[in-house]
Structure 1
């Protein structure tokens, strides 16, 4: 009897929990209400079966409980009962499958007027490509992918010259306009998912899969990889922003095309040297940095990364946190650089600077640091040389005290939490792998032992982030 009562209580508690639980589907933001309806049908069918089966179990325990005055009867077949069970089971399975098959048929049939956007996934980064004025995406090929051509664009295809390449993990979509997302992976199987859109699909290397949707409300939503794709899977996140159609068209018109990115002039080191005179007061005339002034070494910094950080400081995406006192100082100096051309010139000058390798000031367990760095190496390289394709800067040769401070800032939310810092938030997530300040010191001490072979050629590479 006690077991029967426990089963009944479990059924009642489960039903009450379902209706009173605060955990439900996120508010719908696309046209896929039919998917919500299908999920609802699944809950009701499986819920009714759960209640009936468990109540029958409780009834059977009570009805056929042990009684030494009663003998069990043997009944190997009951055709009537088997027929009823077959019919009811068939109806239940049909109720589960039929709505899903109907919705799936719509899910894989994008409307003819849907505009296309390409989504490219790699460990652990999202990037996006929009067709230009001709409305067609240019051809790509895996063999052409390198640091200077992360999308694998074919230079001989005229349709690709006006494509808009977005390297940051921020997807912009127009409101109430159907879009077909072409999904491509550069390395392993990923899965593109936005919970509010009720849309997800695997991305298989060597293939182009797709899904389509129509955004139905403005706002920002999180992009997740729903396929375990490696150590940094949890940090493979992005943002999708849905805006009014007119605002989207204006935004897209402001983005440089691939041809414009290729034709963009490189920064002028001579002009950058004049602008750097203000920076030299803290960072030194050779970019050697100063621990006393909390100014890190800048000599040989990759131009693409220097441009990004200077823009972040100038625009407030970095250094705005009240506890980032040193970043606030940099914001004031970055404001002196009036436009992107001035920033490009300073970045080009930094690449020409040569300063002695900084001395080690942070000490830790190198063996433990090496193990911890394996996660970092996926983006920053085995020798901390940086990997431009995933927009991860070089770490080798930087001041260890500066690396320690930045990792602690990431862990504490002082850096990387601004909504416009598209890469900082990923570092903030990854820094959680370092469970303590001692772990931070261990990995920093190990990075300080890594060489800078090949850093000069990497630093001289020009490219937009």
Structure 2
């Protein structure tokens, strides 16, 4: 009897916590209302199953408890009941899967007019790359990574020379413009996640993953790594600033390109080579 009361109170407490909890979804700042809808469908189907099953258990405990003159009938095989349970379980699972599959199809079907931004993750920081005027990102591979080329861009790929490089944890995006996020990892599994965008995707070493979104509200949002990636996982955070198109364009024009950084590295290397060349000190002394 006491167990049945505890179960019933657990159900009522869970409902009350859901209705009056101060912790809920962050305000949405992207086009992904369908992801919120899929989440709500899953939540309510699970809630109905939770309430019905637990109240049924509490009722069964009370109704069929052992007492003088009454004993429960043990029925290990009930084909009719099993068919009903299988049917309604299948209906519930289909109801949860269908909205998610629709949302996923939209999530990976990138509009033709979407801009491209690449996010690169490594323990424990973010870096970003925009295509230049040609609108195409240059090819990249970890085999090309050097101290001067931290993105691993192929120096022989002409499409990469004008790529704009953001070697910091701060990303900026224009509001109301679709963007395709291309994701790469240099080392281990990471996950690019901005709660307000309702958007997240794993960064898998050796694989290029992607999704798309349209930021719909200006503001500053936090980028999180939602995949345990090592001892500094909790510090792998960044910032995405959604701005109007003019401010975004002004910021982007101030960032260095791969070609500029390579030219600076070559100039610095040539100066260093001249400085340490044999006889340089002697000539300087004369």
User: SS in structure 2 opposite 1:192?
Assistant: strand
Aligned length: 268
Map 1:183-194 → 2, pairs under 5 A: 183-194=183-194
| Distance in structure 1 (CA, Å) of the matches to 2:266 and 2:80 | 83
1:136 maps to which residue? 136
Structure 1 stretch displaced more, 250-259 or 199-208: 250-259
1:20 maps to which residue? 20
1:211 maps to which residue? 211
**TM-score, length-scaled by structure 2:** 0.89
State the Cα distance separating 1:76 from its structure 2 match: 4.0
| Distance in structure 1 (CA, Å) of the matches to 2:265 and 2:156 | 21
Cα distance per residue 1:225-273 (max 9 Å; x no partner): 11111111100110001011222122212222222233349999xxxxx
| Distance in structure 2 (CA, Å) of the matches to 1:27 and 1:91 | 31
State the Cα distance separating 1:89 from its structure 2 match: 1.3
1:169 maps to which residue? 169
1:155 maps to which residue? 155
User: SS in structure 2 opposite 1:238?
Assistant: strand
Alignment of 1:225 onto 2:225:
yes
Q: Is the 8 A contact 2:164 2:255 kept in 1?
A: yes
2:4 maps to which residue? 4
Cα distance per residue 1:197-230 (max 9 Å; x no partner): 1111111111111111100100111111111111
Q: Is the 8 A contact 2:65 2:72 kept in 1?
A: no
Q: Is the 8 A contact 2:64 2:72 kept in 1?
A: no
User: What residue ranges of structure 1 are gaps of 5+ in the alignment?
Assistant: 269-465
Q: Is the 8 A contact 2:140 2:154 kept in 1?
A: yes
User: What residue ranges of structure 2 are gaps of 5+ in the alignment?
Assistant: 269-286
| Distance in structure 2 (CA, Å) of the matches to 1:139 and 1:267 | 24
State the Cα distance separating 1:75 from its structure 2 match: 3.4
State the Cα distance separating 1:20 from its structure 2 match: 0.3
**TM-score, length-scaled by structure 1:** 0.56
Rate the CA distance shift 1:153–1:76 in 2: closer, same or farther, 3 A: closer
State the Cα distance separating 1:69 from its structure 2 match: 1.6
| Distance in structure 2 (CA, Å) of the matches to 1:47 and 1:53 | 10
1:243 maps to which residue? 243
Q: Which runs of 4+ in 1 moved over 6 A?
A: 265-268
Q: Is the 8 A contact 2:193 2:224 kept in 1?
A: yes
| Distance in structure 1 (CA, Å) of the matches to 2:190 and 2:167 | 17
